[in-house]
């Protein structure tokens, strides 16, 4: 006997799960969502939002203190203060405001929220462990949206000064020395922010390059800024141990030389794994895709009426992908004949400068035997970038040689994240280089570099 019966049960209220539940509610589907923690998931509570708030606070502090100002601008400033407790409270207030917003949207759309930990009994039944006891929920369709968790290092377990991204985003004080294990986007975003806040930051990366998924042209401006911020980059190094009493991290390089770094705190950012603990997934014996749940183009698992969305389904582990999958699944359950046919998923690295990657690069296209033309425009020749004192970076457009349809847009530059929507829109709408070239872009804006890169792809650059 079940305590609750519903048409749709969503497990996990991150950007995948809550978006799915809200859309389902809008479509009149009787929906229940179970969340063991705070509504909003990783993204809202301990990921995208708090990290971007602290990155911004760090930018402001760095700029106001003078070191982030363009030397030629004639502005000097000295000794800004930072009340870290207030900064953390400001960040937490943003999180809590969004949190309340999502809660009220669920309510507005008649989604029943159960605070508890869900565990599968079978493919149609879930038990939720709540403060008030166990609730059995049966549903016609179930969506698994339980997200992901940080991977731990056996030799350097989490605890005390050794933190995950969630811990460091709420740390009690700005560490004097911070070692970041992992030169991926999470480690670099947070490492850069703490360097701007005054920590002596060391980044330990086992590969030859930081951000190994991006090409050199995209990564170089970020590396230069890290140098400016005195961030120490230890490439082809591995962290092999941490001593709590003397707060030192031991590393080893490719030649097996060991060294010791002072590290008041350590951020372990070596990747994320799907979150299935206590979920009873074994009851369903679902086929997997590596560690992730295997899904088809409708986010269906191998079990009838059991769907999976978001980080549990693998790369790219991004909030907007989870949301788009969630909305699609709600519409499918409501009877729509939708399939996943997105042309691209934009990826942003909120480093300084920011990196945006949308669609295929020329080399990725070559691997798929697609002949391409590329156009490029540097921010050094863009009036707006110069007037902002940030000429580092560029925008690169990749189009199919046969018909000039744009298949990739990549860029690096201060504030370029705000252009990612334009880039995704161009690719999603099947724009050709000629379409972008024939559009009037407002002057002076950073977006003009996109226009100019498209003109360059057509061999008719105006300002280059």
Q: Where are any strands of DSSP class E within 218-371?
A: 232-235, 237-243, 248-253, 258-262, 265-268, 272-274, 288-289, 292-293, 306-308, 347-349, 354-359
Residue 321 and residue 253: Cα distance in Å, rounded?
A: 36
By beta-carbon proximity to ligand FAD, the closer residue of 263 and 281 is 281
CB of 19 to ligand FAD, least distance (A): 8
**Greatest Cα-to-Cα distance within the chain, rounded to the nearest angstrom:** 74
CB of 218 to ligand FAD, least distance (A): 17
CB of 34 to ligand FAD, least distance (A): 5
Residue 403 and residue 57: Cα distance in Å, rounded?
A: 45
CB of 146 to ligand FAD, least distance (A): 3
By beta-carbon proximity to ligand FAD, the closer residue of 55 and 249 is 55
Residue 220 and residue 355: Cα distance in Å, rounded?
A: 11
Q: Which of 323, 391, 396 is nearest to 363 (CA)?
A: 396
Q: Which of 183, 452, 214, 201 is nearest to 355 (CA)?
A: 214
By beta-carbon proximity to ligand FAD, the closer residue of 150 and 378 is 150
By beta-carbon proximity to ligand FAD, the closer residue of 146 and 192 is 146
CA 13, chain centre distance (Å)? 17
By beta-carbon proximity to ligand FAD, the closer residue of 348 and 455 is 348
Asked if 135 and 4 touch (Cβ cutoff 8 Å), the reply is yes
CA angle 225, 227, 228 (to 5 degrees): 65
Angle subtended by helix axes 48-64 and 84-108, to nearest 10: 150
Residue 285 and residue 106: Cα distance in Å, rounded?
A: 31
CB of 446 to ligand FAD, least distance (A): 19
Among left, alpha and beta (phi > 0; psi -120 to 50; other), residue 450 is alpha
By beta-carbon proximity to ligand FAD, the closer residue of 148 and 454 is 148
Q: Which residues bind ligand FAD (CB under 6 A)?
A: 11-17, 34-37, 41-43, 47-48, 51, 117-118, 145-148, 165, 186, 275, 278-279, 310-311, 317-320, 322, 350
With tokens 């379409």, the residue in question is 435
By beta-carbon proximity to ligand FAD, the closer residue of 37 and 439 is 37
Q: Which of 76, 269, 281 is nearest to 184 (CA)?
A: 269
Instruction: Give catalytic residues, as residue numbers.
Output: 443
Residue 27, judged by CB atoms within 10 A of its CB (0-12, 13-18, 19+), counts as middle
CB of 348 to ligand FAD, least distance (A): 6
**What tokens appear for 355 in the block?**
């990196």
CB of 27 to ligand FAD, least distance (A): 19
């Amino acid at each position: 006997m079940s305590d609750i019966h519903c048409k749709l049960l969503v497990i996990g209220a991150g950007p995948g799960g809550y978006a799915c539940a809200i859309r389902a509610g809008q479509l009149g589907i009787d929906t229940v969502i179970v969340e063991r923690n705070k509504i909003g998931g990783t993204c809202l509570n301990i990921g995208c939002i708090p990290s971007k708030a602290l990155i911004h606070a760090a930018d402001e502090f760095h700029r106001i203190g003078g070191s982030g100002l363009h030397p030629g601008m004639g502005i000097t400033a000295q000794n800004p203060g930072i009340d870290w407790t207030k900064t953390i409270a400001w960040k937490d207030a943003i999180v809590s405001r969004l949190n309340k917003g999502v809660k009220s949207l669920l309510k507005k759309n008649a989604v029943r929220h159960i605070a508890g930990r869900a565990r599968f009994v079978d493919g149609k039944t879930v038990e939720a462990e709540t403060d008030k006891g166990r609730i059995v929920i049966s549903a016609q369709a179930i969506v698994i949206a339980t997200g992901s968790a940080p991977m731990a290092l056996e030799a350097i377990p989490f605890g005390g000064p050794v933190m995950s991204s969630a811990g460091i985003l709420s740390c009690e004080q700005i560490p004097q020395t911070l070692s970041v294990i992992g030169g991926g986007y999470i480690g670099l975003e947070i490492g850069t922010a703490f360097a701007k806040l005054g920590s002596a930051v060391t980044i330990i990366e086992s590969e030859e390059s930081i951000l190994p998924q991006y090409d050199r042209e995209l990564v170089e401006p970020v590396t230069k800024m890290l140098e400016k911020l005195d961030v120490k980059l230890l490439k082809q190094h591995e962290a092999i141990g941490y001593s709590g009493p003397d707060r030192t991290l031991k590393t080893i390089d490719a030649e097996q030389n060991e060294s010791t770094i002072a590290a008041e705190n350590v951020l372990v950012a070596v990747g994320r794994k799907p979150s299935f603990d206590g979920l009873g997934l074994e009851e369903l014996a679902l086929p997997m895709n590596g560690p992730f749940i295997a899904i088809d183009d409708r986010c269906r698992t191998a079990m009838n009426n059991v769907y999976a969305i978001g980080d549990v389904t693998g790369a790219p582990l991004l909030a907007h992908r989870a949301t788009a999958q969630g909305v699609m699944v709600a519409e499918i359950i409501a009877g729509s004949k939708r399939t996943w046919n997105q042309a691209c998923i934009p990826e942003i690295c909120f480093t300084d400068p920011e990196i945006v990657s949308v669609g295929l690069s020329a080399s990725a296209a070559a691997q798929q035997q697609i002949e391409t033309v590329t156009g490029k425009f540097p921010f050094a020749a863009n009036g707006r970038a110069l007037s902002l004192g940030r000429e580092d970076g560029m925008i690169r457009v990749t189009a199919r040689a046969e018909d000039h349809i744009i298949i990739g847009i990549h860029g690096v530059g201060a504030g370029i994240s705000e252009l990612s929507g334009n880039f995704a829109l161009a690719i999603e709408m099947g724009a050709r280089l000629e379409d972008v070239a024939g559009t009037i872009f407002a002057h002076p804006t950073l977006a003009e570099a996109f226009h100019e890169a498209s003109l360059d792809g057509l061999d008719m650059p105006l300002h280059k």
